[in-house]
Structure 1
Amino acid sequence: MRYARLTPGHGFKPANSFLYYLQRIIVSPHLRGLCVRMFRNWVRARHGKATSDAAPAHVHLLDRLHAEGYAALGNVLSANQCDDIHAWFADKILTDRQDETSMFTLAHVPSAARLAEYSLHDIVRCPHILALANDSRLLELAERYIGCKPTISQLGVRWSFPTPGLRSDLQTFHRDSEDWRYFKVIVYLTDVGPEDGPHVYVRGTHKTRAPMRLKIQSDGEISREYGDDRLITAVGERGFGFAVDTAGVHKGSPPVTKPRLMLQIQYSLFRSYAYVYEPEPYTGNFPFDRYINRLILA
């Protein structure tokens, strides 16, 4: 997805910028909580609820996500499904995240490429991805965590390459600020061990006060501030997925031995005004909830 222009210039929309920075400047967990309760009641009144008031089927995942900001989901895709996804993307165009003019296929990755992404056009046509993003278990978890019917506000498939030199900001500890309330489901599409670019999360930091000006932090700063015992390093075979509230401190470690491919699905209260949304046409009977998918599918 393209980033929106949030400062004056070509493509700048003052209303979008205001709504983005409004949720950025309210950093008090208590005040943010009040805002979330008000907004989710508004969404419920307008769009209803997708789940019943009965106890959720996977209450332990919800409890873990609330308590730690991270919950392992186990293998949400099979090895065969991962093979299908790899086959689909084999000849599709990647765009360098740090240089939008650099586009290439997996067979011709430039030596300087560090992070590269596939287009939404190709992602929504890939087998298994939309079905997973709309899986009833994930939607139930999203609705329970956010407090109302969720919005899929980001859908991405990204390669991380073992490239020497300085890390990307995404590969250094940081916080996200996507919306008032949100979380991501990350699914590894390649086997990920300690040297293969695992996601690292600082347990419980989603409940702490974030600075108004987001910053990156070194491994040493994180170790001194939080202690190494609070680090969760997510490793697993291809198909392994986890839910993570990236308002907490986290990073995607740079791979050392081999490239890493991951799928990222973001569920949020509203749209993220950090992005420009260009929903992709979807043909067929549209088996998915239109409200939940409105930013992704036309």
Structure 2
Amino acid sequence: MKYARLTPGQGFRPVNSFLYYLQRIVVSPRLRRLCIRAFRNWVRMRRGGGTAAGAATPTQRQLLDTLRSDGYSPLGPLLSEAQCGDIHRYFADKPLTGRGDGASGYIISEAPPDARIAEYSLRDIVGCPHILELANDRKLLQLASSYIGCKPTISQLGLRWSFPVQETRSDLQTFHRDSEDWRYLKVLVYLTDVGPGDGPHVYVRGTHLTKASMRLRVQSDSEIAQQYGKDKLIVATGSRGSGFAVDTAGIHKGSRPADKPRLMLQIQYSLFRSYAYVYEPQPYRGWPPFDRYINRLILAFP
């Protein structure tokens, strides 16, 4: 995804800037809840409640309750071993864009030794087997609809490698909060096996319910340990194909891999679009015919 220019300068988008920082400055949890309630009622009036119709199973209710209380909920296997293999084969010859390391255009088998984080383009992600089907899976859409409170929008779809590079890390690999929209959640799916040394996602349980500062900042491991204690940390390890839902308005990080590279799929469902991004929907003429509203930022329908 391309980031919007939110400060004055070439490419500055004042509307994006205003709407993005509008939700950033409302830091009171109570006031945010009131705003979210009004906004989701407006979306429900226009678009309905999403795919939450029908009685939820006990397992689905438990997942939702855990997500609401902890900000994190494991989802188990979301892709089979065969599907993960299909995805890896598809991306074997697709170029990567480096993030912050100055290198781009290489394929995964030729990644430079100093590569730290690299991503695939939305165009290639849309063309990949299984990913769009997973993002539009009925159970995931039902979870997103129930958590957000209305029909969700897929506002980000990304596939990112993190490499084991010594003595360097990005802000993504340091504890921080996201501020994507008024209300959102992410489904993260590992496409490589992830153990403790392979860059697991780490989340501070319950911090999505706490007040964030208007100025987003990173925090060190020692600060987090002192403020919350190690018992609050959720370290999300798992085999490839496994996934979890997480509200990244809470404090989290992607650990820097120490042993081997990590590939992770990110699907973001939100109340509105995220004004931090510039959207370039990709042409889609495939099957099945996904919901146009949910996918409008990702797919351009004929």
| Same fold per superposition (TM over 0.5) | yes
| 1:255 aligned residue | 257
| 2:39 aligned residue | 39
| 2:239 aligned residue | 237
* Structure 1 counterpart SS, 2:180: coil
CA displacement at 1:48 relative to structure 2: 1.6
Q: Deviations over 1:111-141 (max 9, x none)?
A: 2210000000000110000000000000000
CA displacement at 1:102 relative to structure 2: 2.5
Give the partner amino acid of 1:10: Q
What is the number of equivalent residue pairs in this alignment? 298
CA displacement at 1:287 relative to structure 2: 1.6
* Structure 1 counterpart SS, 2:97: strand
Q: Matched residues in 2 for 1:102 and 1:65: separation?
A: 36
Q: Matched residues in 2 for 1:54 and 1:226: separation?
A: 38
**Aligned mate of 1:64, from 63, 66, 85:** 66
CA displacement at 1:286 relative to structure 2: 5.1
**Aligned mate of 1:272, from 263, 271, 274:** 274
Q: Does 1:162 align with 2:167?
A: no
Q: Does 1:19 align with 2:19?
A: yes
Q: Does the C-alpha gap of structure 1 residues 13 and 185 become closer, same or farther in structure 2, counting only changes over 3 Å?
A: same
* Aligned residues of 2:148 and 2:184 also touching (Cα < 8 A): yes
Q: Matched residues in 1 for 2:75 and 2:167: separation?
A: 33
CA displacement at 1:55 relative to structure 2: 3.8
Give the partner amino acid of 1:48: G
| 2:128 aligned residue | 126
CA RMSD of superposed structures (Å): 1.1
Task: Between 101-110 and 124-133, report the one with greater CA deviation.
Answer: 101-110
| 2:80 aligned residue | 78
Q: Matched residues in 1 for 2:217 and 2:200: separation?
A: 21
Give the partner amino acid of 1:256: A
CA displacement at 1:15 relative to structure 2: 1.2
Q: Matched residues in 1 for 2:91 and 2:286: separation?
A: 22
Gaps of 5+ in 1: none
| 2:115 aligned residue | 113
* Structure 1 counterpart SS, 2:216: coil
Give the partner amino acid of 2:199: G
| 2:295 aligned residue | 293
Q: Matched residues in 2 for 1:190 and 1:259: separation?
A: 8
CA displacement at 1:98 relative to structure 2: 1.0
| 2:285 aligned residue | 283
Between the aligned residues of both structures, percent identity stands at: 70
* Structure 2 counterpart SS, 1:39: helix
Task: Between 92-101 and 180-189, report the one with greater CA deviation.
Answer: 92-101
Give the partner amino acid of 2:285: T
Q: Matched residues in 2 for 1:240 and 1:53: separation?
A: 26
* Structure 2 counterpart SS, 1:124: helix
Moved over 4 A (4+): none
Q: Does the C-alpha gap of structure 1 residues 14 and 135 become closer, same or farther in structure 2, counting only changes over 3 Å?
A: same
| 1:97 aligned residue | 99
Q: Deviations over 1:71-93 (max 9, x none)?
A: 00000000000000000000100
Give the partner amino acid of 1:150: P
